[in-house]
């Protein structure tokens, strides 16, 4: 089934507060605090008028020191017109999120306007898969689809000798980690009834998967859970020992690469973006703003440059956006979304879409140049087009920005033809 409805989750204040779109989870700096943070850097010895190498080195020394805010350091770097400042910003971006990532991106954009480019973030290196033992007899697992907020339900099931099953129920978020776990002992009839009722309400199936994959998804989510929220989650590691004595896995050879091995070499289609598992992979407007501004300038210059030159400028901005936005932790999350979402599609009977997801995931795993793949270009193009359309007060983007997968495919064919003519 291709239902788009979200699976139900426990209606408790804990989960409501953990929503990825809850405004309480988004730190918004107070302007007065920003001024104070900048002043604190000077009190700690930073001199904005010092030679660029010295200023950058001082900011590097201040990182992690009490009173030295990373937000203030990022702002200060944006005012230093030197490649060393751009390089440090690129380092900070790799591990940044939320308000810090947005501030880093703004500073990188300010330096770019002055002709200084930040070095491209290195593609994540594939880690060797951890050797894992065969699943323990009596263990099984079910997973849900990934909803538009990036959450997924995981059931780890263990048969009881006296009848019935123990169930470890978990809800995971790709941005917030493990949202909650609970265990229960139920009969198989009760398990079937709960599953059927859940699928009926959600309009989407729970599918059977290797219990080792379900265990890895839960353990990885727990590792990504902020320390401040772990007390709300409960003692997951202790609960887990009731289901398996194996140590928590830190790596896992995802089965999507073996079960869809014949599809890995194919080109992932932009049509994959129509699947509900990918629909919710979004970017914050603040992250897209620098590229939207450049594209708007290119569009407004139509009266002084040819249409072809204008399109080339916009394609150059798109190439840079693909390389810079699909990097660091976000690229890790996209790979996980493609692997787990693609595997769900495979078990849900959508092999064609699952093959595209596997082909896209393997490109990330192997460090391929994502700018050369139509799928990744279409993903960023769609996001940019949405912001441009909304900022212009209209629902359709200008013709230069491709929104639908079919248009994206045609655009990539035209791009390839232009490249051939230039050779």
Structure confidence by residue, pLDDT tens digits, 4-63: 344 443 333 333 333 332 333 333 334 444 457 788 888 889 998 899 999 999 998 888
Q: Are 214 and 240 in contact (CB under 8 A)?
A: no
Place of tokens 């033992």: 133
Q: 122: burial class by Cβ within 10 Å (0-12, 13-18, 19+)? A: exposed
Q: Which has the closest alpha carbon to 403: 376, 423, 421, 385?
A: 385
Q: Which has the closest alpha carbon to 369: 331, 399, 336?
A: 331
Q: Which has the closest alpha carbon to 370: 287, 295, 361, 288?
A: 361
Q: Looking at the predicted structure, is the pLDDT value of residue 363 above 50?
A: yes
Predicted pLDDT at 27: 36
Say how far apart CA 76 and CA 46 lie, in whole Å: 9
Predicted pLDDT at 93: 78
Tokens of residue 243, six digits: 């289901």
Predicted pLDDT at 35: 55
* Residue 30, SS3 per DSSP: coil
Q: How many CA atoms lie within 13 A of 401 on its CB side?
A: 24
Q: Which has the closest alpha carbon to 340: 328, 366, 358, 326?
A: 358
Q: What is the CA radius of gyration of the chain?
A: 24
Q: Looking at the predicted structure, is the pLDDT value of residue 360 above 80?
A: yes
**Cβ–Cβ contacts within 10 Å for residue 48, how many?**
13
pLDDT > 90 in the chain, percent = 40
Q: How far is CA 162 from CA 165, 187, 396, in A?
A: 9, 10, 61
Say how far apart CA 260 and CA 357 lie, in whole Å: 10
DSSP 49-92: TS-HHHHHHHHHHHTTSTT--HHHHHHHHTT--SHHHHHHHHHH
Place of tokens 């995971």: 172
Question: Mean pLDDT across the stretch 207-235?
Answer: 91
DSSP state of 274: G
| pLDDT range class, residue 230, cuts 50, 70, 90 | confident
Lowest mean pLDDT across 74-88, 177-191, 395-409: 395-409
pLDDT > 70 in the chain, percent = 77
* Residue 175, SS3 per DSSP: coil
Q: Are 208 and 140 in contact (CB under 8 A)?
A: yes
DSSP state of 138: T
Q: Which has the closest alpha carbon to 58: 69, 47, 49?
A: 47
Helices (H), 124-272: 188-202, 211-223, 227-233, 236-240, 256-259
Tokens of residue 375, six digits: 């799928």
Say how far apart CA 329 and CA 308 lie, in whole Å: 35
Say how far apart CA 367 and CA 115 lie, in whole Å: 27
């Amino acid at each position: 089934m291709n239902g788009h409805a979200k699976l139900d989750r426990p209606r408790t204040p804990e989960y409501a507060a953990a929503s990825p779109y809850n405004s309480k989870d988004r730190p918004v700096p107070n302007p007065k605090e920003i001024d104070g943070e900048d002043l604190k850097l000077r009190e700690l010895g930073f001199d904005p008028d010092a030679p660029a190498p010295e200023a950058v080195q001082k900011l590097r020394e201040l990182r992690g020191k009490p009173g030295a805010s990373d937000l203030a350091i990022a702002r200060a770097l944006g005012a230093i017109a030197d490649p060393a400042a751009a390089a440090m910003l690129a380092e900070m971006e790799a591990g940044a999120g939320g308000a810090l990532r947005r501030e880093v991106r703004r500073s990188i954009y300010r330096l770019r306007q002055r002709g200084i480019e930040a070095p491209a973030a290195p593609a994540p290196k594939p880690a060797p898969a951890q050797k894992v033992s065969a699943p323990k007899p009596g263990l099984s697992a079910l997973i849900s689809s990934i909803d538009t907020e990036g959450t997924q339900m995981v059931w780890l099931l263990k048969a009881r000798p006296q009848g019935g099953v123990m169930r470890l129920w978990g809800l995971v978020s790709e941005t917030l980690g493990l949202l909650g776990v609970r265990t229960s002992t139920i009969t198989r009839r009760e398990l079937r009834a709960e599953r059927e009722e859940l699928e009926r309400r959600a309009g989407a199936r729970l599918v059977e998967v290797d219990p080792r994959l379900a265990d890895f998804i839960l353990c990885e989510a727990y590792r990504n859970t902020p320390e401040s929220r772990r007390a709300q989650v409960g003692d997951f590691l202790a609960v887990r020992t009731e289901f398996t004595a194996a140590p928590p896995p830190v790596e896992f050879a995802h089965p999507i690469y073996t079960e869809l091995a014949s599809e890995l070499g194919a080109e992932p289609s932009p049509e994959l973006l129509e699947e509900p598992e990918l629909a919710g992979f979004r970017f914050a407007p603040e992250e897209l703003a620098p590229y939207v501004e450049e594209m708007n300038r290119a569009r407004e210059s139509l009266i002084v440059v040819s249409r072809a030159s204008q399109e080339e400028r916009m394609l150059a901005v798109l190439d840079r956006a693909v390389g810079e936005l699909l990097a660091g932790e976000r690229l890790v999350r996209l790979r996980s979304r493609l692997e787990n979402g693609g595997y769900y599609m495979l078990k849900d009977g959508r092999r064609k879409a699952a093959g595209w997801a596997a082909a896209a995931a393997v490109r990330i795993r192997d460090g391929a140049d994502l700018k050369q793949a139509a799928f990744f270009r279409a993903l960023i193009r769609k996001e940019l087009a949405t912001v441009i359309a909304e900022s212009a007060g209209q629902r359709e983007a200008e013709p230069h920005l491709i929104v639908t997968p079919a248009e994206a495919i045609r655009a990539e064919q035209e791009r390839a033809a232009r490249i051939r003519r230039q050779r």
